[in-house]
Structure 1
Amino acid sequence: MDEMSRQAISDDKEFCWHPFTRQSEWTAAEHEPLMLVKGEGVWLEDAEGNRYIDGNASIWTNVHGHNHPAINTAIKQQLDQVAHTSYLGFAHPKAGELARKLAGFFEGTELKRTFFSDDGSTAIECALKMAIQYRLQNQEADRTEFVAFINCYHGDTMGAASLGGVDAFFSRFRKFGFPVRFVTSVEELKALEGLERVAGVVIEPMVQGVNQIHVWPEGMLRELRDFTEEQGIFLILDEVMTGFGRTGKMFACQHEGVVPDFLCLAKGLTGGYLPMAATMVRESIYEGFLGGAERAFYYGHSYTASQLGCAAALASLEVFEQERTFENLQPKISLLQEALQEIKQGSAWVWDVRQCGMVAGIELRQQDGAPFEPAERVGEKVCVAARKHGLLTRAILDTIVVMPPLAINEDEIKLMLKAIEAAITDELGEK
């Protein structure tokens, strides 16, 4: 290891604080963090020159691959003009263009107004605050509760954290946020008492990410939309992870022809280049904020509608068209499905595989089907072992997440799955 890398590791351990990380283990003398320094396509390179497939798209963000020339060029061209200007009291051309293009995916519907923010948590936070404020100032002041689904994850800001169904992350904070009730299905939602007090229902459509890649039953989203409309409840879709092609369509809700009241976007919005989020809202909800100063939505961020972020997002949307991403995606989805089934059939350690488009999870258990003890951290160890075979990804408990950039080719998909097979064998042994 060269001197520069040693200094980088020293600085990190002494001065940095990583997300979702046991810092005492991270800063231990024997732990050597993996320093990532380059990217090209679906490949990442560390400070020692080792290359890895980016198997979780840099925490579910990257879409078209790293160092994409079209997105690079768009950012550089924007940088030559101006990097950032305030969106509070001012405007710029690319924000309006991006909002128009997003509305174009729902042409002919009311989902046409976009509020920009910084990340997935704030996209959700906006939707929650908008839903409550709309109710309060439009003669529905009793509708101040939310319903979410068990084991869900919608972000870490305080409002979004109130929706969180994962106790390890959220139980200590829940009492400080919005009133939320949790259900496991639409049937449980329908059976709740006091639905007249519910402002909105929040869900990740088609597949829950942090819930070990839990795939919802076919038709569930359509049923949920019909019921919420019948009850006058807002449907808030969290497409922070599922948006921008992950499920095989631009947005997961399009699989069942569902148009929500709020659509929350982030991660892949800029192709995985820059932090940026969008909360799309039905025009009738937007109109509920028109009038005097007391009806305005007083919420925002310093980098709202970032000029660089808008440039990257517009370029990313163009790449979808230029590279015929969706046309090329279906064979990859089929290949991934076949490879996942081969892994399931070929290893007694693989209890289940779950897939929705290019989102997949490989759940590991003991050979008798019993879960591993959480303290064993088997999923985490398998992911570390996969590095030796040229793959970076993360586990959710003992479910290995498979979510590469959409730009991955078929040979790289095969390499990715072979790396997971080898890592399982390394850590757990043969069948």
Structure 2
Amino acid sequence: MNASSDLRQRTLDHVWHPCTQMKDHEWLPMIPIASAEGAWLTGTDGKRYLDAVSSWWTNIFGHRHPTIVQRIKEQLDTLDHVIFAGFTHEPAVKLAEKLCALTQLDRCFYADNGSSAVEVALKMSAHYWRNSGKPEKTRFISLSNGYHGETLGALAVGDTGLYRDSYSPLLMQPVFVPSPDCFDRAPGTSWEDHSRRMFAHMEFALEQHAKDTAAVIVEPLVQCAGGMRMYHPIYLTMLRDACTRHGVHLIVDEIATGFGRTGMMWASDWAKVSSRTPQPIRGDFMCLSKGLTGGTLPLAAVMTTNSIYEAFYDDYASYKAFLHSHSYTGNPLACAAALATLEVFESENWLARNRELGHLMWMRVSELVSHPHVAEVRQQGLILAIELAKNPRKREAYPAHERRGLRVYQHALEKGVLLRPLGNVVYFMPPYVTTTEEVALMAKTAIDGIEIATRDR
């Protein structure tokens, strides 16, 4: 038995992998990876794979970026970890200062992953209303087709049935508002007009439920796990105004869309551009993770305002303190990785580079717009999605059991490209260091794979 086969078998004997039906691996071999560099993964058998999805959207500057690796090593030489209750350290403080400046928010609360960050924001919002002396607010409003993580609170405010339905008896029940995503807009209707019209549902929900609603939570512009469905930034402008009018918090989940992924530092920054306002659109809470450490170590942050912080600031006996924690809160190694990631951001104009790379991605796959089994090609920065359909004109999807996207995945692996479709949606979310040649490989592989996957059998 060679090294790859041995590692596969040991995996199947003992490991339960995430977001996976393990029985698939009776016929779909798992890929053992030995090393990584830049945009590439290398298997134990020496085969290389272009990481076109940034390893679950985290690895924004490629694998093992030398600056990030060096800063982690330097930090390990001085302080690996320390309890973050009653103690503090330079990396966590410096990172909080930088994140406050970048987000134009005032306070930073650390968590260790995206789902945990959403849990923090939900709890903080509801707890704020209790501390404020006003009537308690314990309900949340979110968008259909949204996804915010898989811990119970985060799962509850998501509306992707694949993840949520099995656990629905355990979950609180938010108010779900129809998504403004533009896939099903009327022919001839612009993204902006469609998103404006769809906001009527949100306005109605706020009118009906604001009195007991703590917060609205949204993924800005791109509903990632929900099939990379996208909407116009004018919706965020209108939502910020409505939440303020109705006295409801706005939680902006930038976990997947933040740190330059959409061509702006934050996806919500596009609302400023679209509405031509002098100030950016900001949530009362902003959840950050994934790209925060450049895909090296787990870390998340919840950014919020001084007014919310002050509602928790009191004598201990008041029970107003926010008693939420985890063992690795503010871990120095993760904070050092995040600081190094921000250092890389400052080294050149990555936002401009990302917009250029995004344009190249579009040009390389533009022929798919007229493919007989492609319902839509849509893009926001370095997120490009290709939705396959049995009948694109009628928006008739392929049956899930046909697993057309999986056929693309299998073809791509054969060609040395990691694509991990979301059902019938093939998407690119590559590292920012991806070259023009690598974009060409990624695009050709996807086009050929889609051709194979959509043939009748």
For the superposition of Structure 1 and Structure 2, which TM-score range results when normalised by the shorter chain? over 0.9
Aligned partner of residue 172 in structure 1, secondary structure: helix
Please name the residue that 1:191 is paired with.
Answer: 204
Give me the whole-angstrom Cα distance separating, in 2, the residues matched to 1:344 and 1:194.
41
Please, which of 179, 187, 204 is the counterpart of residue 173 of structure 2?
Answer: 179
Please name the residue that 1:219 is paired with.
Answer: 234
Amino acid at match of 1:411: E
Give me the whole-angstrom Cα distance separating, in 1, the residues matched to 2:408 and 2:378.
18
Q: How does 1:333-352 map to 2 (within 5 A)?
A: 333-345=358-370, 347-352=371-376
Amino acid at match of 2:133: Q
- The 8 Å contact of residues 246 and 358 in structure 1, kept in 2 or not, is answered as yes
Please name the residue that 2:221 is paired with.
Answer: 206
Aligned partner of residue 310 in structure 1, secondary structure: helix
Per the alignment, do residues 160 and 367 of structure 1 end up closer, same or farther by CA in structure 2, a change over 3 Å counting? closer
Please, which of 378, 386, 411 is the counterpart of residue 412 of structure 2?
Answer: 386
- The 8 Å contact of residues 115 and 149 in structure 2, kept in 1 or not, is answered as yes
Give me the whole-angstrom Cα distance separating, in 1, the residues matched to 2:236 and 2:28.
44
How far the C-alpha of 1:388 sits from its partner, in A, is 1.5
Give me the whole-angstrom Cα distance separating, in 2, the residues matched to 1:140 and 1:148.
23
Amino acid at match of 2:171: G
Give me the whole-angstrom Cα distance separating, in 2, the residues matched to 1:330 and 1:305.
32
How far the C-alpha of 1:137 sits from its partner, in A, is 1.6
- The 8 Å contact of residues 42 and 65 in structure 1, kept in 2 or not, is answered as yes
Please name the residue that 1:264 is paired with.
Answer: 287
How far the C-alpha of 1:424 sits from its partner, in A, is 1.7
Please name the residue that 2:450 is paired with.
Answer: 424
Please name the residue that 1:134 is paired with.
Answer: 128
Aligned partner of residue 279 in structure 1, secondary structure: strand
Aligned partner of residue 99 in structure 2, secondary structure: helix
Bigger mean CA deviation after superposition, 419-428 or 49-58: 419-428
Aligned partner of residue 175 in structure 2, secondary structure: strand
Q: Deviations over 1:281-305 (max 9, x none)?
A: 1110011000022111011111111
How far the C-alpha of 1:82 sits from its partner, in A, is 2.1
Please, which of 402, 421, 430 is the counterpart of residue 376 of structure 1?
Answer: 402
**In percent, how many aligned pairs have the same letter?**
36
Please, which of 154, 158, 168 is the counterpart of residue 152 of structure 2?
Answer: 158
Give me the whole-angstrom Cα distance separating, in 1, the residues matched to 2:233 and 2:303.
24
Kindly indicate whether residue 306 of structure 2 is the aligned counterpart of residue 280 of structure 1.
no
- The 8 Å contact of residues 266 and 277 in structure 1, kept in 2 or not, is answered as yes
Give me the whole-angstrom Cα distance separating, in 1, the residues matched to 2:310 and 2:15.
44
Aligned partner of residue 396 in structure 1, secondary structure: coil
Amino acid at match of 1:416: M
How far the C-alpha of 1:120 sits from its partner, in A, is 0.3
Give me the whole-angstrom Cα distance separating, in 2, the residues matched to 1:425 and 1:172.
34
Please, which of 247, 255, 263 is the counterpart of residue 270 of structure 2?
Answer: 255
Amino acid at match of 1:310: C
Aligned length: 423
Give me the whole-angstrom Cα distance separating, in 1, the residues matched to 2:199 and 2:287.
21
Q: Deviations over 1:302-338 (max 9, x none)?
A: 1111111000000000101113312322211211222
> Structure 2 length as normaliser, TM-score?
0.90
How far the C-alpha of 1:339 sits from its partner, in A, is 2.2
Kindly indicate whether residue 259 of structure 2 is the aligned counterpart of residue 241 of structure 1.
no
Aligned partner of residue 258 in structure 1, secondary structure: coil
How far the C-alpha of 1:255 sits from its partner, in A, is 1.4
Kindly indicate whether residue 305 of structure 2 is the aligned counterpart of residue 318 of structure 1.
no
> Structure 1 length as normaliser, TM-score?
0.95
Aligned partner of residue 412 in structure 1, secondary structure: helix
- The 8 Å contact of residues 162 and 175 in structure 1, kept in 2 or not, is answered as no
Per the alignment, do residues 71 and 354 of structure 1 end up closer, same or farther by CA in structure 2, a change over 3 Å counting? same
Give me the whole-angstrom Cα distance separating, in 2, the residues matched to 1:48 and 1:181.
50
Structure 1: 5+ residue stretches without partners? none
- The 8 Å contact of residues 57 and 405 in structure 1, kept in 2 or not, is answered as yes
Give me the whole-angstrom Cα distance separating, in 1, the residues matched to 2:265 and 2:392.
39
How far the C-alpha of 1:179 sits from its partner, in A, is 3.5
Amino acid at match of 2:386: I
Please name the residue that 1:11 is paired with.
Answer: 10
Aligned partner of residue 296 in structure 1, secondary structure: coil
Q: How does 1:35-114 map to 2 (within 5 A)?
A: 35-107=32-104, 111-114=105-108
Per the alignment, do residues 89 and 372 of structure 1 end up closer, same or farther by CA in structure 2, a change over 3 Å counting? same
How far the C-alpha of 1:25 sits from its partner, in A, is 2.4
Please, which of 386, 392, 400 is the counterpart of residue 362 of structure 1?
Answer: 386
Give me the whole-angstrom Cα distance separating, in 2, the residues matched to 1:165 and 1:381.
26
Amino acid at match of 1:363: E
Amino acid at match of 2:300: A
- The 8 Å contact of residues 121 and 160 in structure 1, kept in 2 or not, is answered as yes
- The 8 Å contact of residues 144 and 179 in structure 1, kept in 2 or not, is answered as no
- The 8 Å contact of residues 146 and 178 in structure 1, kept in 2 or not, is answered as no
Aligned partner of residue 202 in structure 2, secondary structure: helix
- The 8 Å contact of residues 126 and 136 in structure 2, kept in 1 or not, is answered as no
Amino acid at match of 1:267: K
How far the C-alpha of 1:429 sits from its partner, in A, is 4.1
Per the alignment, do residues 250 and 218 of structure 1 end up closer, same or farther by CA in structure 2, a change over 3 Å counting? closer
Amino acid at match of 1:336: M
Please name the residue that 2:24 is paired with.
Answer: 25
